Amino acid sequence: YTPALLTILAFSIPSGLNAEPYQLRHTEFGWVNIAEHNIWDIIFYIYYGSYTILGMVLLASWGKKSQDAVIKEQAHLILLTILTLLVAATYTDIILSSKVGNLPQMAPVLMLLPVTIIYNTIRKRQEKQENPLQFSFSYIHIIISVMFYVFISFIQIRLEPGIITIGQLHLAESTFRGILTQSQMFISIYLALRESKPGYIISMLMNTTNLLISLVFWIMMDFNAPLPGIISYVNVLIILLIIRAFRKQSAMYIEKIQSQRQDLKESERQLYKLAYYDSLTGLPSRGYFIEKLQQSLERADRQRRRVGVIFIDFDSFKAINDTAGHMVGDLVLQQIAQRLIKRIGEKGTLARFGGDEFLVEIPDLETDEPIHAMINSIMETLKKPAVIDAGEYHVSASIGIAVYPNDGETPDTLIKNADIAMYEAKGRGKNQAVFCTDDIKDRTTMNHTLMNNLYWALDRDELQLLYQPKISVETTKIIGFEALLRWNNSEYGVVNPEVFIPMAEQTGMIRPIGLWVMRTACLQIQQFQEWADCELSISINISLIQLRDPSMIEHISAILEETHTPPHCVEVEITESIAFQDEPFIMDQLRRMKGLGISIAIDDFGTGYSSFSRLRTFPIDLIKIDIEFVRAISSNLHKDQAIIRSIILLAKNLGLKVLAEGVETEEQLQFLKEQGCDFIQGFLFYTPLPVSGIKQLLDSSQKTRLSALP
Ligand code: C2E
Ligand code: MG
Ligand code: MG
């Protein structure tokens, strides 16, 4: 700053340092300084030149070193402006002032140019960061245009009246002035159009200045100077204003487009929410959960960690919907979801899988311990009832857990295995959590395979009937057989009916299978009767699904006719819980069946619940006491023995026959005999046998054990 201070001392303050700092002369532009080129002037030139060059070197290295493209551009611009200033100011203040001598100092005015540029580059940079969608403009254009404009202004000022000669061209002064003014107009409009706001402001400033100067000139010349110049400047100003108005309008449209863009973004967000969030509970949806889980699995794979997937299904939630309505059901779900999300917090992700099913993911685990803690926490949360309008709703849940990597490596497998474990929890009596195990997985896979194979069992001739003889207690002779179904599966061997009958019921396959059983048993009993040479009965088990089939009676009737089976030799067995259902249609079906002439037995009696009135009104012939009560005879459980006694007594009083199932010991036989039980069935005499076994039996000396139909 020393040279600057020195310059101020030499030129601004009368300090005696510089004897003649200024040589002022009065011209038509006012007082103008004439350079003397004394020692101080030379010092000033050196200072001014070297500092400017130094500044430019600094600027250049700043731009070169920076990695930021914006800074590079900034440095480049300022450098260029200062270079322009250096050239322009040297020309106006040194060359022109020393030669011509009647120009005021222009450098301080030109100095405004780099100041404006620096200010604007800073602002532009901020704007770029805040709003990248702004008009950008180029300073090169502005600088060159301003230089041209100012240059033309100087020419105009310097123009002498008369003919102007440029090379071969001879022009009148007024024509040349006109061309110059038109060029200025062109530059102004070009700037305003091309360089938006800065271009507009600069054009306005330049033209206003020129208009004012022209006006002053016009007044000074006593209104004798030509008017076209003034009119041109006024016109340019008007055109500039119009351009400005037009620009404002465009900006408005752009703003509108931008706001529409925002709206679009907002709807996009909403759509995302719809796809990834459940609208009822506000929880993430299945899609979001799967994506999140996928990320956790990838992380767990890298870090050798575990990930827990918990499947929650509320027990008997349908009951709440059915009794209190779906609105209350929804509110209960919302309340429980809120509570769960509070409990789970940052430890995991809760999502709604659908209906009353929820999923939790616990990522980044080293042990299973946090999963146990989480399950306890969830169970604890569910202990408190949901309260809706002063009504309390208790909701328990069955929970299944699968852990990565043991129970699967993809979101799909993990969720599927957690679901399987959840079903296991339901099967074990609900309101509990079950971890997925190999055993559970194998069983599910087996069930799945069996279920698929069951469709082909009939076509592939894999079904077989076994026959278990029924014995008269009094004579100990065979009075008939119960047909018991077996499935010889190619993969799993002999499958018991307890396993595949529920599957057949689920898939509806029980209807064709049931008819096959009926036809096969009817044909078989006639062969048995031939071998035994006496009338024997055949018992056939019928399931609820078959009973509900309105065409079943017609089918049975057709089979009896087709196989020429006397209906009184056929007995259908229906379990107690099914037979006594409160469905008038079932009662109807039983009556129609009875109408065909076949007898009806109530299977597994004592395990369901039947009222006396039903026993009286239902068209039944026989009661089969369930194996559980028969077992109780040997274990001396007095209450169970009392029940058997009562059942037999009740049956006798209602005129029904009684059969005891699963008799395995002499003791049981003895007890039943004492109580007056009519028939027995059990391993004590025979296990269920294939046709060949029955043939042997009937052919052998045991023929003595046969008796006529009761
Ligand atoms: P259920 O009708 O009560 O059949 C009696 C079951 O007890 C048979 O089992 C039989 O093998 C078994 N059993 C007989 N005596 C004894 C004994 O002394 N001790 C023991 N522990 N068990 C004995 P199975 O053959 O496995 O049949 C199970 C159930 O499957 C049957 O129970 C019946 O409800 C159903 N079922 C069998 N075949 C058919 C069918 O063709 N259609 C329908 N819908 N269900 C069938
Ligand atoms: Mg049975
Ligand atoms: Mg039974």
Asked, for residue 283, whether it belongs to a domain, the answer is no
Q: Which of 155, 306, 288 is nearest to 229 (CA)?
A: 155
Q: Do 686 and 468 form a contact (C-beta atoms < 8 A)? A: yes
Task: Report the atom number in ligand 1 closest to the C-alpha of 484.
Answer: 38
- CATH number for the domain including 484? 3.20.20.450
User: In terms of domains, do 425 and 570 share one?
Assistant: no
Q: Do 70 and 57 form a contact (C-beta atoms < 8 A)? A: no
The closest ligand to the CA of 576 turns out to be 3
Number of domains making up the chain: 3
Q: Take atom 45 of ligand 1 and give the residue whose Cα is closest.
A: 541
Q: Do 311 and 418 form a contact (C-beta atoms < 8 A)? A: yes
**If you measure from the C-alpha of residue 222 to the centroid of ligand 2, how many angstroms do you get, rounded to a whole number?**
132
- Please report the pLDDT score of residue 643 as a whole number: 87
User: In terms of domains, do 429 and 555 share one?
Assistant: no
User: In terms of domains, do 418 and 454 share one?
Assistant: no
Q: Which of 436, 471, 506 is the last residue of a domain?
A: 436
Q: Do 225 and 185 form a contact (C-beta atoms < 8 A)? A: no
The closest ligand to the CA of 501 turns out to be 1
Q: Take atom 27 of ligand 1 and give the residue whose Cα is closest.
A: 497
Q: Take atom 34 of ligand 1 and give the residue whose Cα is closest.
A: 541
**If you measure from the C-alpha of residue 533 to the centroid of ligand 3, how many angstroms do you get, rounded to a whole number?**
28
Q: Do 19 and 49 form a contact (C-beta atoms < 8 A)? A: no
The closest ligand to the CA of 516 turns out to be 1
User: In terms of domains, do 481 and 334 share one?
Assistant: no
C-alpha dist (Å) from residue 424 to 357, 394, 404, 435, 505: 15, 22, 19, 9, 20
What letter would DSSP give residue 34? P
Task: Report the atom number in ligand 1 closest to the C-alpha of 497.
Answer: 30
Task: Report the atom number in ligand 1 closest to the C-alpha of 543.
Answer: 44
The binding-site residues of ligand 1, defined as CB within 6 angstroms of any ligand atom, are: 468, 484-485, 496-498, 501, 517, 541-543, 573, 603-604, 627, 661-662, 664, 681-683, 688
Asked, for residue 282, whether it belongs to a domain, the answer is no
The closest ligand to the CA of 500 turns out to be 1
CB neighbour list of residue 498: distance below 8 Å, 6 or more residues apart: none
Asked, for residue 212, whether it belongs to a domain, the answer is yes
User: In terms of domains, do 159 and 32 share one?
Assistant: yes
Domain range spanning residue 171?
2-249
Beta bridge partners of 295: none
**Prior bond of 405 cis (ω within 30°):** yes
pTM exceeds cut of 0.85: no
- Please report the pLDDT score of residue 710 as a whole number: 38
**If you measure from the C-alpha of residue 397 to the centroid of ligand 2, how many angstroms do you get, rounded to a whole number?**
35
State the DSSP string of 564-616: T--GGGEEEEEEHHHHT-S-HHHHHHHHHHHHHT-EEEEEEETSS---HHHHH
User: In terms of domains, do 541 and 417 share one?
Assistant: no
- Please report the pLDDT score of residue 221 as a whole number: 78
SS3 (DSSP) at 362:
strand
Question: With a cut of 70, which residues of the chain have pLDDT below it?
Answer: 28-30, 35-36, 95-104, 128-137, 225-226, 609-611, 701-710
For a pocket test of ligand 1, which of 484, 517, 538, 629 has the largest count of ligand atoms closer than 8 A to its C-beta? 484
Task: Report the atom number in ligand 1 closest to the C-alpha of 575.
Answer: 34
User: In terms of domains, do 478 and 349 share one?
Assistant: no
Mean pLDDT score of the chain, rounded to an integer?
Answer: 88
Give the C-alpha separation, 457 to 492, whole Å.
13
Asked, for residue 660, whether it belongs to a domain, the answer is yes
**If you measure from the C-alpha of residue 557 to the centroid of ligand 3, how many angstroms do you get, rounded to a whole number?**
25
User: In terms of domains, do 685 and 613 share one?
Assistant: yes
- CATH number for the domain including 347? 3.30.70.270
The closest ligand to the CA of 539 turns out to be 2
User: In terms of domains, do 18 and 117 share one?
Assistant: yes
Q: Which of 436, 460, 477 is the last residue of a domain?
A: 436
- Please report the pLDDT score of residue 385 as a whole number: 93
- Please report the pLDDT score of residue 138 as a whole number: 72
Task: Report the atom number in ligand 1 closest to the C-alpha of 663.
Answer: 18
Task: Report the atom number in ligand 1 closest to the C-alpha of 546.
Answer: 44
For ligand 2, a single-atom ion, the residues with CB < 5 A are 541, 573, 603
Q: Do 333 and 281 form a contact (C-beta atoms < 8 A)? A: yes
Asked, for residue 261, whether it belongs to a domain, the answer is no
Asked, for residue 277, whether it belongs to a domain, the answer is no
State the DSSP string of 540-562: EE--HHHHH-TTHHHHHHHHHHH
**If you measure from the C-alpha of residue 427 to the centroid of ligand 2, how many angstroms do you get, rounded to a whole number?**
24
Q: Which of 414, 436, 458 is the last residue of a domain?
A: 436
User: In terms of domains, do 432 and 457 share one?
Assistant: no
CA torsion, points 681, 687, 688, 694, in degrees to nearest 10?
A: -100
Give the C-alpha separation, 461 to 540, whole Å.
19
Distance between alpha carbon 275 and the CA centroid of its chain, in Å? 5
SS3 (DSSP) at 546:
helix
Asked, for residue 257, whether it belongs to a domain, the answer is no
| Token pair listed for 691 | 């046709």
User: In terms of domains, do 420 and 495 share one?
Assistant: no
User: In terms of domains, do 458 and 432 share one?
Assistant: no
Asked, for residue 262, whether it belongs to a domain, the answer is no
